[in-house]
Amino acid sequence: MKLHRLALLLCLATLFLGQKAQAWNETDHQQITRLALEQVSVAWNLNKPVPVKPLSSFLQKLSRWGVWGGESGFAPHFEPQHPALPVQGGLDTWHFSNYLKVNPKIDLNLSAPEALGKKTLTPVEILTLYSIDPDDGRDRDLFVRDEKGRPQYAYPDQKWFGIVQGRDSQAFRHIEKTPFNIHHPISTFGLPFRAVGESTERAEIYFQLALLAKNLGEDYWAWRFLAGSLHYLEDLHQPYHAGQVTPELVGKGIAAHFQWGHQLYGWLGIKQTIAHLVSNSHRFFENYLAHPAAQDEELKKTVLEAVEGTDLLTFEGSTQQLAQQVRDQSNLFLPDLIQAVTDISNPILRGPYDFDAGGTNTDSPEKFIQKGPHYSEARTKFFDIARNRFQSNGRVIRTVIKKWQQTPSQKPEELLQQLDTLLYPTSS
C-alpha cells in the first residue's frame, strides 16, 4: 500500500509535463480583447490615436531613474548600495529584458503585421493586436546550464512543469495551479499543495509596467504593456490553465499505463502516461472551441457574444489578487470540463494517439467528435463552461482597464520599487 501511495505522489509531482502552454490561440486572444471593449471604447476614449514609438523611447526615459544590470537587475539612484552595474549610454533592450526575466533574444519592440508602417494606433487597436505579446517566446527557453552545458531550471516553479526548452517551456508562466482547498478537493487536487506557476504575478508585473509607462508619458507602451497584463488574465480563464489533474483522470492514466503507456514511456514513465491524457484533453478543448464543427458554430457565436458588455467587477485589490480570483474560479470548472471533453470525443484520445494542436500535422478536432450516450448533455456543458469563462473574461478586461485609467499618478521611483519587489523579492 505504501508503494502505491509513493507511486501516486511521484506521478503527481510533474503532471504539468506535456501541458500545452497557450490557453487560447492568437485569434481568440485578440477576439476576446476586441469584443470586451467594443461597447466601451468610445466612452473610455479608447479610439483616440496615440503615436507609435520605439521601445527605446520608453527606455531612454527610464534610464534616468536608475542603473541597470548585475544580478538584481535594477538599482534606483536613491539606493546607491544596490549591487547593480550601470549601463553606459542608457538602458538597452537586453538589460531591460534581463530585468523583466524574459528571454533577451526576443524582440520586445516587434510590431504586429497589421501595424507595420502605421504612425499612430488607437488604444483599442494596441490592446487587441498585442494581447498576444507574451506568446512571442519571451517566456520560453529560460534556463541556466550546469558545468556540462546541460539546461537546468532557472526558476523554482519550472521543475513542476518538466520542460525547460521549446514552445511549451513557457508553461510555468501561462498556467498556474490553484492551491489545494479542502472545500474543493477534486478540482484543486495535485502536488504541491501550494499554488504553482507565475501567471498571476506576470499579470501584476505588466500592469505595473503600464502604470510606469503612463507616468513617463509613453502612452503607446503603456497600452502595450497593459495588453500583456490582459494576456495572462485571459490565460487564467481557461480551466486547464488553473489546475493540474483530477483524481479520476489519474486513475485512468494509471490503468492506461499498464495497457499501453509502458510501451511508450517505459514502466517508470507512468507520469508521462497521465500527462499524455491530460494534454490530449487540454488540446482538444482549445482546438474544438477555436474550430468547432458547422453544427456548433452558433454555440461558438454565443460564447463570443458573452464577452461583450459594459459591466465591471467590484474589486478593490491588486491586479495579482484579481488574477488569483480568476484562477480559483476557473479551477472549479476543471472536473466538469474534463468529463465533458471525455463524453464528446473519440476514445482514441484516451489512448496512445498524440493529438496535434499546432504542429506540422495539426489535427482537425471535428474528426474526433463522437456522439456517445452522454454527448448531448456533455456538449451543452462544454459550451456553457466556455461561455461562462468568456463572459468573465470580458468583465475582467474592462475592470482592469478602468482600474488602470483611474489609478492616481505615482512617482516613477515608487513604481520601480514595486516592480523590484515583484521581480527581485529577496533583494528589495
Amino acid identity of 120? T
Measured distance CA(270)–CA(257) in Å, rounded = 6
Note down pLDDT in tens along the chain; length 428 residues. Answer: 444 444 454 455 445 555 555 555 656 899 999 999 999 999 999 999 999 999 999 999 988 876 555 444 445 443 433 334 344 456 789 989 999 999 999 999 999 999 999 999 999 999 999 999 999 999 999 999 999 999 999 999 999 988 899 988 999 999 999 999 999 999 999 989 999 999 999 999 999 999 999 999 999 999 999 999 999 999 999 999 999 999 999 999 999 999 999 999 999 999 999 999 999 999 999 999 999 999 999 999 999 999 999 999 999 999 999 999 999 999 999 999 999 999 999 999 999 999 998 766 789 999 999 999 999 999 999 999 999 999 999 999 999 999 999 999 999 989 999 999 999 887 54
Residue 311 grid cell: 459591466
C-alpha separations of 155 from 94, 360, 386, 418 in Å:
19, 30, 32, 20
| Whole-number Å distance between alpha carbons of 146 and 111 | 35
Tell me the pTM. Answer: 0.91
List, in sequence order, the alpha helices (H) in 345-424. Answer: 375-406, 412-423
